[in-house]
Amino acid sequence: MDQTGKQTDTRHTNRVTILGARGSIPVSGADHVIYGGATSCVLLEADTAVEVEKTAEHVILFDAGSGLLNLPQRVWGEHATVHVFLSHFHLDHLMGIPMSHMLFDDAAEVHFYAEDGERIPQVFSQMMAEPLWPVGPGAFRAKLSYHTIGSQPVRINPLQAESGSEHLLTVTAVPVTHPGGAQAFRVDWGDHSVVYATDCDPDEGTGRFLECFAADADLFILDAQYTDEEYERSRGFGHPGMRTSAQIITASGAKKGLFFHHAPNHRDEQLKELENELQKHCKHISYAREGDVITL
């Protein structure tokens, strides 16, 4: 993995792109340039080809916040099929849906997954209903389908894996503690693994099982919205303190950790100071920046 967390290579194989890392509500302005202001959306492009000289890329999105608008057209233009895993139905994780260019492209095929897949179209309809929005989901032109992801992993490419041409690409979900419920996701293929766990509070109720869930992952993206002082004032809101998140990432053995879901009131200067202090003790953890590209 690129230790800087960034690269300028034009290849798309086995990489994660941070399209939005902000929590709760989008922000903008001069104080939110470095870490970005778009809400939760992460792109994973995974190459499952067994033979090194071949490629077999699959596209996964985690959440569909306003960062979804940063998704480049090439993603669905090249791959057509996109798999979107929704951690939960809070608005900051869905607000990119109504304006997503991908969903208005009849060449795109988009599979949505959530803990209750049958609720997804209902939630979209509620979010885009008058007087809140001028058009409903009926305006979408992409081919859409909705799926439930529960205790059994989702297999993205079972036929190709059974034929021996690709490594099996699986997505596993576990429930996490958050008001209204939420899920964390782990993607595994070949020798690679990525974990996405936002809107969770390991210190409330369920303990720190995420350490095991993310064991030895290449990349562990974890909510770290609050400073420790802020956490004490915000217990029950469903987000961890940064100290807890650092302990979990370190205990998991993940090769690289990214703090995610930055509080909207945390400006670049404050986040940079927090990151510098963190990396004195945890050099393998950094704060997610909108536009970051991490190669695996």
Structure tokens at 233: 């004032």
Instruction: Tell me whether strands 285-287 and 256-260 are parallel, antiparallel or unpaired.
Output: parallel
Q: What angle do CA 80, 151, 1 make, to 5 degrees?
A: 55
Q: What is the pTM of this model?
A: 0.93
Say how far apart CA 77 and CA 107 lie, in whole Å.
Answer: 8
* pLDDT above 80: residue 9: no
Structural tokens at position 169: 């690409």
Least trusted range by pLDDT, from 63-67, 71-75, 91-95, 199-203:
199-203
Per the listing, tokens 């409330």 go with 204
Residue 232 has pLDDT above 90, yes or no: no
What phi and psi, each to the nearest 5 degrees, are found at residue 36?
A: 85, 165
Average pLDDT in the 122-148 region? 97
Residue 119 CB-density burial (10 A; 0-12 exposed, 13-18 middle, 19+ buried): middle
Confidence of residue 178 (pLDDT cuts 50, 70, 90): confident
Given the DSSP bridges, would you call strands 41-47 and 15-20 parallel, antiparallel or unpaired? antiparallel
